[in-house]
């Protein structure tokens, strides 16, 4: 069964550095999402992406964040200047259509020192 | 915006017992309610979902009920097994207006044998 994949599984960075988290959505899916989960807390929506545009974004998704689909398979989340509070598990998800099930990747644990 | 409350935060049952997890939502326009199971260190996986045009849905030992008037929905697991032990998240979404899943804080279910 196809799955969403994410790399790396764990990223450690210094505060102020840029990080790029990578995702490969399921191949026939058209909607892509990023969520984050701070340790011990709920999963929070960051952004959704469709047809090479942001469809929706939350208050968390400020100017420090950006998303891109650089090619036909990858979907990336960039954090320009990381802060300590960006430490979290970042999940990518994808769905076939807008109202369909969202399938989650295994996550990237980001640790900002 | 939408807010989802989930109770209880932890639930311990004996193998074979039933478990019930309840969620309330605030936005009466929400029309899609998935439940995800997250085992330690793994991705959230959809276990069942319900849309606002039905009141109940069942899949083997798992059922979800929805009360639109009261704006709450519940997950019912019967004949619990140790492998049901995990964190369960409810979520709500208004598919007509947006793409975001708004999650509850999660319930840690422990099934002891």
- Torsions phi, psi of A23, nearest 5? -140, 140
Say whether B99 and A98 touch across the interface (CB within 8 A): yes
Q: Is there a contact between A94 and A35 (Cβ–Cβ < 8 Å)?
A: no
Q: What is the mean pLDDT of residues B80-96?
A: 92
Q: What is the mean pLDDT of residues B53-61?
A: 93
Q: Which pLDDT does position A2 carry in this prediction? A: 86
3-state secondary structure of B83: helix
Q: Is there a contact between B107 and B37 (Cβ–Cβ < 8 Å)?
A: no
Give Cα separations from A14 to A1, A77, A107, A109 (angstroms): 37, 17, 20, 14
- Say if B101 is an interface residue toward chain A (CB within 8 Å): yes
pLDDT tens for each residue of A29-45:
999 999 999 988 889 99
Q: Is there a contact between A51 and A66 (Cβ–Cβ < 8 Å)?
A: no
**Cα(A80)–Cα(A46) distance, integer angstroms:** 15
Q: Is there a contact between B82 and B15 (Cβ–Cβ < 8 Å)?
A: yes
pLDDT above 80 (res B97): no
Say whether A42 and B103 touch across the interface (CB within 8 A): yes
Say whether A102 and B49 touch across the interface (CB within 8 A): no
Q: Which pLDDT does position B46 carry in this prediction? A: 95
Q: What is the mean pLDDT of residues A91-101?
A: 89
Q: Which pLDDT does position B52 carry in this prediction? A: 84
**Residue B2 C-alpha, separation from nearest chain A C-alpha, in angstroms:** 12
Give Cα separations from B2 to B25, B30, B48 (angstroms): 7, 8, 20
pLDDT tens for each residue of A44-80:
999 999 999 999 999 999 999 999 998 878 999 999 9
**Residue A16 CB coordination number (10 Å):** 10
**Cα(A89)–Cα(B79) distance, integer angstroms:** 32
């Amino acid at each position: 069964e196809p799955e969403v994949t994410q790399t790396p599984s764990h990223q450690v960075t210094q505060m102020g550095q840029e990080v790029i988290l990578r995702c490969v959505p399921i191949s026939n899916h058209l909607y892509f999402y990023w969520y984050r989960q701070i340790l011990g807390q709920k999963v929070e929506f960051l952004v959704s992406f469709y047809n090479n545009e942001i469809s929706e974004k939350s208050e968390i998704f400020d100017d420090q964040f950006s998303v891109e689909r650089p090619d036909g398979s990858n979907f990336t989340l960039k954090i320009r200047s990381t802060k300590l509070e960006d430490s979290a598990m970042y999940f990518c998800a994808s769905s076939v259509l807008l109202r369909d099930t969202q399938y989650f990747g295994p996550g990237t644990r980001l640790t900002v020192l | 915006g939408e807010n989802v409350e989930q109770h209880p935060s932890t639930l311990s049952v004996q193998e074979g017992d039933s478990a019930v997890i309840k969620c309330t939502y605030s936005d009466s326009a929400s029309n899609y309610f998935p439940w995800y199971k997250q085992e330690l260190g793994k991705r959230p996986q959809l276990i069942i979902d319900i849309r606002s045009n039905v009141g109940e849905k069942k899949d083997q030992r798992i059922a979800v009920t929805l009360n639109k008037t009261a704006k709450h929905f519940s997950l019912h697991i019967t004949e619990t097994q140790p492998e049901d032990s995990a964190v369960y998240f409810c979520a709500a979404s208004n598919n007509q207006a947006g793409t975001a899943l708004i999650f509850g804080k999660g319930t840690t279910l422990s099934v002891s044998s």
